[in-house]
A and B are shown apart, each in its own frame.
Chain A
Amino acid sequence: MENKTTKIKLDRSELMIRGFGYVFITIFAVCCLLPFLIIISTSFTKESIILAEGVQFLPKEFTTAGYNAVLKTGSIFKAYILTIGMTGIGTFLGLFFISMAGYALQRKDFPFRNVISFYIYFTSLFSAGLAPYYLMMTQTYHLKDNYLAVLLPLMMSPWLVIMMKNFVKAIPHELTESGKIDGAGDFKIYYSIILPLIKPALATIGLFLALGYWNEWYQSSLFLTSKVDVKPLQFMLYEVINKTDALKNSVAGQYVNITDIPSNSVKMATAVLATGPVIFVYPFVQKYFISGVTVGAVKG
């Protein structure tokens, strides 16, 4: 794939573009990283220094007080278990359902494939909006304060199904035919012939699902009230960050326990702990996202 233009002698314009490229990309990439470094180093900085001098590039007085405070309460462990559990279950079920449908919908002999594809696609064209959705979830399904309200809605999306369909399309349909000749049923063909062949697709879509679950805070903010003790990680982070504002905005004279306000270092430590695993994992899985983006850009 590499363009072989380098072999030919570079003229001045080439050198200028290349030099500019290195400079610009470097600056941009560093800017992408910088806010994270600030959070990490500030999370190890003493509270009094944060308050006096603001956030830090390098911790002036190193301390793990913020982390100690977060780990001591133990609620972050429960949040971890909940988030990992939901990510695992949701991603597994989502992948199973999406890949099954993706296989069925690309079968050219399946007479209902266009109707069903449109039925799925339509949901991305027109939606009821938040209020009817909220009323349905809380009053018809009674899912308020129920983890299912977070687990279920994230399990699939129209574009993931379409993406899967496009991935499976690339598998030659002669394989299905040969399976049929051998007397295998449709599910058997999907399970033992197609599934092993679409591993890269499963990785890509699985990662999109997993990232959705890991970063989920929105459904939680809608449906998990203070009655639920253990929240998904990102929503826990959301509550820790915004607690201070809520207390600050409370009516003057009202009793506010000052120890209830999380310090800056506690917030930073929570942010680092809630994001950490993603930062460690993503460089290794990035290539699957890239293949997904490239396939996803092709229309259904």
Chain B
Amino acid sequence: MKSKKATVKYRASNLTFWQKVYKYRVLLLMCLPVIVFFFAFSYMPLPGIWVAFVKYNYRKGIFGSKFIGFDNFKFLFTSGKLSVLTRNTILYNVAFILLGNMLAVFVAILLNEVRCKWFRKVSQTMMFLPYFISQVLVGYLVFNLLNYDTGLVNSILKSLGVAEENLFQPYSDPNVWPPILILVYLWQQTGYNSVVYFASIMGIDGEMMEASKVDGANGFQRIRYIILPSLKPTIVILLLFALGGIVKGNFGLFYNIIGTNSLLYDTTDIIETYVYRATMTDFNFSTASAVGLYQSVIGFVIVMTVNFIVKKIEPDYSLF
């Protein structure tokens, strides 16, 4: 690796920038669509962040509107809105990441213990299904399980003879949603998440397993002392990846399940859903952009910090 790099550098350093451009024009052209794409859709919106610092006026445009400094942010901070949104977003993500990975590891280990190939294949296919469907359908499935009038849960409760007033009414009760949303997340993602872990278990040296048997280790000890330690690097890397996105909410999940049901916002409103409503319903672009910028900056700082710390401790695990 190292020596190759050096020779390339030597060869390339003889050329000026434009000579290099000319020499590698074909490879550059091959990258051009991708470069243009990310310029048009990821870099072009960046100057528009300015809208967070103005009192947006549709007729005057972003750069003609009155500059008001940090007033948009001030309002969000003092009203406490931002802290609620941040709390919800982070707490949900922590639950998703921790429980999601724990369940995925658990499922992968059990899937490995199951020896019947046919069973393994069919069950994996079934567990993968929720990952393939649109978030719109997920929201609708949840609605059909939980709604007051026709939902499955209430049908079951009714058949058990539960009184009308004691039926389950989640769509007007904010407190029941954190566990429900976590369950839906686990339902949708576990099949997919367990694949990586399952693949790394399959990669464990079979001889090691056998040796442990010969040494008299029982099944639990084999999982505890061989499988789990072998999974550790994968777990750490996936957790680090996830940690980098801890302030990014799962918009599709929340918006399709909760929608614009303001009764539930207290426990279910995350940064993404708030920004979406501020943009699409209230056309309050300045507030929306202020929240979005806050999120981007915090997210960026977290990724950089995580990467910096990881690089210090274990360079192999660092993201870049």
Contact = CB atoms under 8 A, between A and B. Distances in A.
A55 B152 contact: yes
A21 to B, nearest CB: 4
A133 interface: yes
Interface stretch (B25-33, B74-82, B88-96): B25-33
A260 interface: no
Contacts of B252: 217-218
Interface in A65-122: 97-98, 100-101, 103-105, 107-112, 116, 119-121
A215 interface: yes
Chain B contact-residue range equals 35 or more
A128 B8 contact: no
A170 interface: no
Nearest to A16: B219
Given A100-B33, A123-B43, A127-B42, A186 B126 contact: no
A274 B136 CA distance: 10
B150 A21 contact: no
Contacts of B265: none
B220 A136 contact: no
Interface string A236-279: 01100110010000000000000000001001000100110011
A175 interface: no
Chain A contact-residue range equals 35 or more
Contacts of B144: 35, 38-39, 42, 55
Contact of A11 (B11, B28, B61, B218): B218
A32 B37 contact: no
Nearest to A249: B260
Contacts, number: 306
Nearest to B293: A129
B33 A297 contact: no
A129 B135 contact: no
Interface string B31-45: 101110110111111
Nearest to B134: A215
Contacts of B280: 134, 221-222
A18 B286 CA distance: 57
Contact of B27 (A36, A186, A279): A186
B192 A17 contact: no
Residue among A4, A116, A130, A190 with the highest chain B CB neighbour number at 10 A: A130
A288 B245 CA distance: 25
A21 B195 contact: no
B175 interface: no
A217 B134 contact: yes
A275 B137 CA distance: 8
B30 A21 contact: no
A140 B47 CA distance: 12
Given A104-B31, A294-B199, A274 B137 contact: yes
A35 B62 CA distance: 46
Contact of A132 (B34, B49, B122, B213): B49
Interface in A124-159: 125-136, 139-140, 152-153, 155-156, 158
A161 B34 CA distance: 9
Given A3-B209, A133-B45, A293 B151 contact: no
Contact of A17 (B122, B220, B251, B300): B220
Q: Lowest 8 CB-CB distances: which A-B pairs, in order?
A: A129-B292, A132-B48, A128-B45, A54-B155, A215-B134, A123-B42, A21-B110, A131-B288
